[in-house]
Structure 1
Amino acid sequence: MTTAAAPATGRRPHHRDRFDAVIAGGGPAGAAAAITLARAGRSVLLADAHTGPPKTSESLVPAARMLLHDLGIDPRELDRGHRPCHGVLSAWGSPHPQQVHFINDPHGHGWHLDRPAFDHLLRSHALARGALVAERTTVGRPARLPDGDWQVTLTATGARRTVRCRWLIDATGRRARIAVHCGAVRHRYDRLVAVHLRLAPDPRDGENRSLVESAPDGWWYTAPCHPTGRLVAYFTDSDLTPPALTTPEVFLDRLATAPHLAARAKGRPPHPGDVPRRCAAHTARLEPAAGEGWIAVGDAATAYDPVSSQGVLSALYTGKCAAEAVDAHLNGEHDATGRYTAQLHTTFDSYLAGHRAVHSWEERWSTHPFWQRRQHPRAPAAG
C-alpha cells in the first residue's frame, strides 16, 4: 500500500479507514476522478488491481491537452516517454489511404501512448494531490451500511483490510464490476473483439502516424510504440474471428492480406516473447450509470468502438466529470449525478449516430456480415 504525502494546507487529513470516495480501477478514468476529488479537498483511495489484459499502445488526440490542463497536468510531460502522433492515415471506403494531419489542429499534435507509463503518470499526480494510492489492490463486493456509507474489503498480496466510504466510483472497465453489484445492467451493442500483437523494434521506423485499414470482415490498426516498436491489431466480431488467430503464424498470414499494414510490418517478427492476444472491444452502455452512493466512469459507464479514437479521451473526461458530480453531491447538490448521467446519454447517442455513419462509408463489402451488422444495427443485448 502506498500512502499519500502530507496533505496541503486546508485539506482534511486522511482517516485510513474512512474516505469520501473509494475508486476501483487505476486507469485513466479512475486516476482522473482521484485527481479531481483530491484537488477539491476530498479524502480519496484509488485502488489499482493491475489485472485484466495487458495494456496496448493507444493514441491520445490533440484535444486532450485541454483536459490535461484541467487536471493540473502539463501536457509537455507526455513529450517524455510517449511518441508524438501527427495524424491518421485511413484506407476506409477506398483502397487509397486518406490523411488527416494534426498540423491543422489548433491544439497541436497528439501522442502514441505507452499505456503503462501514462497510467503511472496519472496515478502519480493523484498521489501528489493527496489521494491514497493502493497498488495491486482489489476492491471487493461492496456492502451498504445503515448510515448510508459503503463498506468494502481491499485485498492486496497477502493482506486484507476493510474500509468505509461515502461514495464508490467504478472504473473497472467494460465489466463494470462494482456497478453490476449495485444493480446496474450492461447493454452490449455488438460483439467486436481485438486481436493485437507487438512487432519487434526497428530503429528505422520513424513514422509518427497511425493507420486504419478496413477489410472484408473487420478492420486493421497499426501505430508506433515507444521507443521503436509497432502495434498491429485486427478488429472483428467474436463469431467471425478466424480459427487460431492468436497464434503468430495465423495472425501474420491474415495481416499479409492488408496491403498498407503489411508494408509497415514487412520483415518484422513479433516482439520477443509476445504472442497475439484477444480482448473485448465492443460498444456498451451501463444503465443506470449512477445510483445512491455510486457512479461509473470510463468504459464502465460507456465503452466506445476503438475506431472512434475516443477511449482514453472519454476516460479522462468522464472521470473528471463524475468526480465533480460527486463533490457537488457531497456539497448538497443532489441533482449533480443526474446531470452527469444525462450528459453521458447525450454523448453516447451522438456517438451511435456517428458510428453508423462511419461504417456506411465502406461499401466494398456491404454484403458481408461485419458491415451489414453496423449499417443495420439491432437492439442492444444485456450482459
Structure 2
Amino acid sequence: MTRHEVYDAVVAGGGPAGAVAALVLARAGRRVAIVDDPPAPAGGAHKVGESLPSAAAPLLRDLGLWPDGTAAPHLRSTGMYVSWGSPALYERSPVQDPYGAGWQLDRLRFDAFLREAAHAAGAEPLRGQAVDAVDDGPGLRLLVRQEHGTRELGCAWAVDATGRRAALARRRAVRRRQDRLVAVHVLLPRQDPAVGGQSDREARTVVEAVPGGWWYTTLTPVGRIVAHLTDPDIADPRLRTPDGFLRAALHTRYIGARLTAGDLSGPPAPRWSAAHGMRLAPYAGPGWIAAGDAALAFDPLSSQGILTALHSGARAGLAAALCLAGAPPRPVLASYTDFLDGIDAAYVRHHAEAYAAETRWPELPFWQRRGPVREPADVHT
C-alpha cells in the first residue's frame, strides 16, 4: 500500500455527478482528482439511465457545457407513449414540458464528455475504484483499489459519487432504500438499412404497466433499449436468458410491437441493474459530501436521475470548494441538505401519485408493495 500526495479534494466516481463536482472544484482553483474506472467502449456496450430532461439545459449552459454536451449523436426526445392505469396507449408530447423536448443519450459518450471537461479544467484522472475513506485528522485517507494493489490518497475533502453503493459514505451515514426494484435490460443494436436491416425510427419512449411490474423501450444513438422493471423475488427466471427475455417482451401489448424484425435474431444476454429509490442520511459530514445516486437515487419512472446527478454534483463541488476556501462547513452543508431534501420530497410525492394511478392489479405483489407510502428500509452493510 503506497501513500500518494495530498489533494485538496478527491472525487470518487466519474459519472455525471462526479465529473461535474470535479469540474466545479477544478475551476475554483483546487487540486482535485477523479478516481474512476470507466468501461471501455465495446460493441453493444451501454449504460441505462439514458433520458435527460430539457430542464438540464440551463445548468449545462451555466457550466459551459452547452450545446456540445447534448449535440449529435444524442437524440432529441420526440415524446412518450404510456399505457398506465388503462389498457389504452396515450401520448405525452414534449410540448407539455415547459422546457421543451429533452434528449435520449448515449450514456457512455455523455459521461466521457463530462469527464473530459473536468480533465480539461485541471482535474487529474486516476484509474481505480474507491473502496473506503478513513479519518486521518485533519482530512481523509481514501483507499483506492487499482490493478496492482491498493493506493492511498490524502485529501481535505472527498466527494462520494460512487452510486448506490456509497463507498465512502456508507460507514458515515444510513442508506434508506425505498424498495427492491431492479431493471432487467438489453440493448438491441440499430439495424442498418444499407445492409438489409430494418430502420428503427420510432424515437418516442413507450412505457407499459403489466401485472408484475412495468416495461419501457426507447431509441438511443447506440440502439434500442428494452427494459423490464420488477422486484427480484417475483421476477420470472426466464428473463435471465436472451430468448426468455425476448419472449416476455413480445408478450406485452405495446413494447413488443416496437421491436423490428432485426431485433428478433440473436438478442444479447439481459443485464440486471439496481433501480430502487434510495436516500442517504445525512448527505454530508466533516470532510465528505455525497452526490448523485450516492446521495439520492430514483426509480427510473421519474426520468430525473441524470438531472439530479448534474445538479447535486455541481452543488457538492461548490460546497466543498467553499469549505476549502474557509467558509464554515455547518451552514454550507445545511444549505446542501435543504436543497436535496426539497428534491427528495418532490420525488416521493410524485412517485406515490404515479404508482397510485395504476389500479388494475392491486392484489398482486408488485403493485401492492407500492400502495400507501411506507417507511423506507435502512440498508446495512
Q: Normalising by the residue count of structure 1, what TM-score does the alignment of the two structures yield?
A: 0.89
Cα distance, 1:290 vs structure 2:
0.5
Aligned residues: 364
Per-residue CA shift, 1:156-215, capped at 9, x if unaligned? 33365432110111111011111013x211111111000001123224111222111111
Aligned-partner Cα distance in 2 for 1:158–1:88: 47
Cα distance, 1:57 vs structure 2:
5.7
Q: Would you say 1:342 and 2:338 are equivalent positions?
A: yes
Q: Would you say 1:66 and 2:54 are equivalent positions?
A: no
2:92 match: 100
Three-state SS of the structure 2 residue aligned to 1:141 is strand
Aligned-partner Cα distance in 1 for 2:125–2:132: 19
1:216 match: 211
Q: Would you say 1:50 and 2:41 are equivalent positions?
A: no
Letter paired with 2:20: A
Three-state SS of the structure 2 residue aligned to 1:205 is coil
Three-state SS of the structure 1 residue aligned to 2:114 is helix
Letter paired with 1:381: A
Letter paired with 2:252: A
2:119 match: 127
Q: Would you say 1:361 and 2:360 are equivalent positions?
A: no
Task: Describe the shift of the 1:270–1:40 C-alpha distance in structure 2 as closer, same or farther (beyond 3 A).
Answer: farther
Letter paired with 2:24: T
Cα distance, 1:223 vs structure 2:
0.5
1:241-260 matches, within 5 Å, as 241-260=235-254
2:284 match: 290
2:144 match: 154
Which of 5, 8, 20 is the matching residue for 2:8?
A: 20
Q: Which shifted more, 75-84 or 99-108?
A: 99-108
Which of 316, 324, 328 is the matching residue for 2:322?
A: 328
Q: Normalising by the residue count of structure 2, what TM-score does the alignment of the two structures yield?
A: 0.90
Cα distance, 1:21 vs structure 2:
0.9
Contact kept in structure 1, 2:8 and 2:31, CA below 8 Å: yes
Which of 156, 179, 183 is the matching residue for 1:166?
A: 156
Cα distance, 1:271 vs structure 2:
8.2
Contact kept in structure 1, 2:246 and 2:264, CA below 8 Å: no
Which of 200, 205, 208 is the matching residue for 1:205?
A: 200
Letter paired with 2:146: A
1:305-316 matches, within 5 Å, as 305-316=299-310
Contact kept in structure 2, 1:200 and 1:271, CA below 8 Å: no
Aligned-partner Cα distance in 2 for 1:193–1:340: 29
Aligned-partner Cα distance in 1 for 2:344–2:265: 36
Aligned-partner Cα distance in 1 for 2:17–2:364: 35
Task: Describe the shift of the 1:304–1:57 C-alpha distance in structure 2 as closer, same or farther (beyond 3 A).
Answer: closer
Aligned-partner Cα distance in 2 for 1:199–1:92: 24
Q: Which shifted more, 274-283 or 159-168?
A: 159-168
1:40 match: 28
Three-state SS of the structure 2 residue aligned to 1:152 is strand
Aligned-partner Cα distance in 2 for 1:217–1:295: 37
Letter paired with 2:31: S
Task: Describe the shift of the 1:346–1:251 C-alpha distance in structure 2 as closer, same or farther (beyond 3 A).
Answer: same
Contact kept in structure 2, 1:192 and 1:238, CA below 8 Å: yes
Aligned-partner Cα distance in 2 for 1:79–1:254: 34
Q: Would you say 1:276 and 2:270 are equivalent positions?
A: yes
Three-state SS of the structure 1 residue aligned to 2:158 is strand
Contact kept in structure 1, 2:283 and 2:337, CA below 8 Å: yes
Letter paired with 2:179: D
Aligned-partner Cα distance in 2 for 1:265–1:230: 9
Q: Would you say 1:382 and 2:374 are equivalent positions?
A: no
Identity over the aligned pairs, expressed in percent?
Answer: 42
Per-residue CA shift, 1:234-265, capped at 9, x if unaligned? 00111111113110121112112211111011
Letter paired with 1:349: A
* Unmatched 5+ stretches in structure 2: 193-198
1:4 match: none
Aligned-partner Cα distance in 1 for 2:136–2:367: 49
Let me know the Cα RMSD of the aligned residues: 2.1
Letter paired with 1:236: T
Task: Describe the shift of the 1:221–1:160 C-alpha distance in structure 2 as closer, same or farther (beyond 3 A).
Answer: same
Which of 60, 71, 79 is the matching residue for 2:71?
A: 79
Contact kept in structure 2, 1:48 and 1:137, CA below 8 Å: yes
